[in-house]
Amino acid sequence: MSDCCTPSRDIAKTYDLVVVGAGSAGFSAAITAAEQGARVALVGDGTIGGTCVNVGCVPSKALIRAVEPLHQARAASRFDGVRASAAIADWSGTVRQKDRLVDDLRQAKYQDVLQGYDAITYHEGAARLVEGGVEVGGVRLTADKVIIATGSRPGVPAIPGIESVPYLTSTTALELEALPRSMLVIGGGYIGVELAQMFSRAGVHVTIACRSRLLPEGEPEISQALQRYLMDEGVTVVAGAVYGSIDPSGEGVALSFTQSGGPGVTTAEHVLITTGRVPNSDGLGLPEMGIQISPTGGIFIDDRMRTTRAGVYAAGDVTGTDQFVYMAAYGARLAARNALNGDTQVYDNRAMPAVVFTDPQVATVGLTEAAARAAGHDVQTSMITLHHVPRALAARDTRGLIKLVADRGTRRLLGAHILAPEGADSIQTAAVAIKCGMTVEQLGDTIFPYLTTVEGLKLAALTFNKDVSKLSCCAG
């Protein structure tokens, strides 16, 4: 096996499988195939490890955690007799610590892992699909089966003037070693709200401008509540904006927009673009190989991870769907098994949990109320605020709500949506309930530990049939 970070030389060029992309999906596919005895070529272009460890999940969550003590100190007075203070002493030091974590995880979880698989040969360079395999730097890697797992990159919206301003992306914003005075975040999706709150808590004056509402694909009750909580912390939210143009200004940048029929302008020292991610499908020669892509660049796949060309599969962000690292790894495992074993594995995202790491956290699984109705269900919902959850009362932090979606006829749980400070650690219980086909009555009859946030799921399930405000502690 070649060194994981240098081009391979003097090796056999025929493989059972070629995997294009050396991020989470690519590694998942390559390892799955190697464990089945296949000879695998893994092709990477750029920094090994992909989005999550290098510029996505790991660095963003590290910085989100770093500013949490600042908020907790400001909020300490909710407890009588408690006062606390915290401050940023050296933001560049915080960023450098984040960088060390990224370097350590890239080494431990990618470079070192690759060294343990003799059946995987790493090739570095830009790949292009050709008849019978993949070409990398003039070398042809021959294989009957290919998996494309090239990930995605930050997208840039078509706002007039955007090319004239030095905008930040979710990648470059995490590299800032000096905090700006103000920041305009364009986009109200999960990346936008996470980074907006993080920079706001670090002392930056933040404005979010978005065309719809915050988290537009989620439950409206959660979007409205989250917007209120962010505004309580000092974030300005301009929702429902129609972008006009963005131009340089004395302060830095200026965005003109209309909102509710009226014009407006917001200015900031920096602008951060968080309007989604674009699949890395260009440059691979896909149209020439008969592989269909969507207008936004996502590779079309079926439920077996197959593209429109026989023998070629795709997984992860490059497909344009379910852009979460764990779903990329899951889909890639299925693609590898199908490529080698006859397309028997079916992709199933019905119990896919998703988390937005704001505070309160947003955690969801299954169908929203709107999606359930669109799917033809006779929908029944329940919703409680955290005022009914003893854990929240003890913490003196009742920000949030829990909404459950069920089928009225079968009583089966279809979706769960949590907005709570510890919502991320509660959603997997609902995911298991949906995966196992539990009814809301079965969920309500399940024993939950007292004074936990996840107990709120039980209370929300009981709300389908009872008024939980009239129950004693732990009663059901």
Number of Cβ within a 10 Å radius of residue 386? 25
φ, ψ (nearest 5 deg) of residue 294: -80, 170
Rg (CA), the chain: 24
Q: What would the pLDDT profile of 333-385 be if each residue is shown by its tens digit? A: 999 999 999 999 999 999 999 999 999 999 999 999 999 999 999 999 999 99
Q: Residue ranges of the chain with pLDDT lower than 50?
A: 1-12
Note the maximum CA span of the chain: 75
- Residue 476 structure tokens: 């059901």
Q: What is the token pair recorded at 349?
A: 């995202």
Sorted by where each starts, the structural domains of the chain and their CATH numbers stand as 17-53+95-154+278-341 (3.50.50.60), 162-275 (3.50.50.60), 353-466 (3.30.390.30)
Question: Residue holding tokens 């009226």?
Answer: 262
Q: How many C-beta atoms surround the C-beta of residue 400 within 10 A?
A: 27
* CA 403 to centroid of chain Cα atoms: 21
Q: What is the dihedral of CA 313, 317, 323, 325, to 10 degrees?
A: 90
Helices 190-201 and 220-232: crossing angle, nearest 10°?
20
User: Is residue 266 classed as helix, strand or coil in its secondary structure?
Assistant: strand
Tokens of 70: 């600042």
Over residues 197-227, the pLDDT tens digits come to 999 999 999 999 999 999 999 999 999 999 9
H-run or E-run covering 430? helix 427-435
pLDDT at 475: 62
Tokens of 183: 């920041």
Give the integer Cα–Cα distance in Å for 233 and 37: 54
